[in-house]
Amino acid sequence: MGSGIAEVAASSGHTVVLRSRSQSAADAMVAGLEKSLNRQVEKGKRTESERDQVLSRVSATTDLADLADCDLVIESVVEDLAVKKHLFTELDRTCGAATILASNTSTLPVVELAMETGRPDKVCGIHFFNPAPVMTLVEIVRPITASPETMAAALAFAETCGKEPVEVKDQAGFIVNALLFPYLNNAVRLLEQGVASKEGIDAAMKGGCGFPMGPFALLDLVGLDTSLAILDALYDEFRDPNYAAVPLLRRMVSAELYGRKSGEGFYDYHKR
């Protein structure tokens, strides 16, 4: 997600600093970005010189201090509230007073991140969708602490990136995940009940509803670990049985079958 967001921002003319905890992970994000741009050059969507211009706007670092002068920081680490809270404390200490701190969280309460900082009015959610360079929606999440100026700046940023932002209250799942994840969870339930094969369910939702991909291909794209974290956060907030993760999903995460990112989820990507 980090390299996808970097691609979106750098392609729109923003200067981007990609920060990761290890240099190898930071380099891998730049490599992912370069691969995506190269694919676009091969398809004739970009020239080589456009690709080079985009890449020249991106630098990779492990040092949080390199973010100090950024106007906007978009956090996109693991969906774990404790990890994100710790990072927001550090970002608040490191970044200039004017920097807006945003989270790309899928479901977690943005207000709790805001309250880790001395600038809760300058914290909001900027939630991209997978794959970030392709999906046009960005949810702009408004915690009760955010100032109108912060919300306006986040909306304006998304628009400069060519996205179609929608403002949403800071409630678990926001719009898309609150609606999408009961559907994905129930698809796993159908599979567990033996109602149809995963291929059959995917084909049914593509052919019957016109969805671009079926639920199991989408779970593999989003990541089963991320999907489970989203369902757990939704269940935590609403205690609605629709959000209670189906045991098969939890077992697959325990088995480290995370989807595309680990090479195998509902489908096997090693041979593709």
Q: Is 126 in contact with 152 (CB distance < 8 Å)?
A: no
Interacting residue with ligand 3HC among 212, 239, 270, 272 (CB under 6 A):
212
Task: Look at residues 65, 71, 4 and name the one whose alpha carbon lies nearest to residue 33.
Answer: 4
Give the residue with the Cβ less far from ligand 3HC, 68 or 176.
176
192 labelled catalytic: no
Applying CB under 6 A, which of residues 11, 20, 177, 185 lies at the interface with ligand 3HC?
177
Catalytic residue among 76, 177, 185, 227: 177
Q: Which is nearer to ligand 3HC, 67 or 180 (CB)?
A: 180
> Closest CB to ligand 3HC among 61 and 130?
130
107-146 footprint of ligand 3HC as x/- string (CB under 6 A)? ----------------------xxx-xxx-----------
Binding to ligand 3HC (CB under 6 A): which residues in 26-85?
Answer: 36, 39, 43, 45
Pairing between β-strand 100-103 and β-strand 72-75 as defined by DSSP bridges: parallel
Identify the CA nearest to 267 among candidates 214, 195, 205: 214
Instruction: Count helices and strands (H / E) in the chain.
Output: 11, 7
Q: 235: how many CB neighbours lie within 10 A of its CB?
A: 18
CB of residue 137 to ligand 3HC, shortest distance in Å: 8
Q: Is 255 in the site for ligand 3HC (CB under 6 A)?
A: no
Write down how long the chain is: 272
Q: Which residues contact 240 (CB under 8 A, 6 or more apart)?
A: 234
**Does 185 participate in catalysis according to the annotation?**
no
Q: Is 155 in the site for ligand 3HC (CB under 6 A)?
A: no
Distance, CA of 52 to CA of 48 (rounded, Å):
6
List active site positions.
106, 127, 139, 177
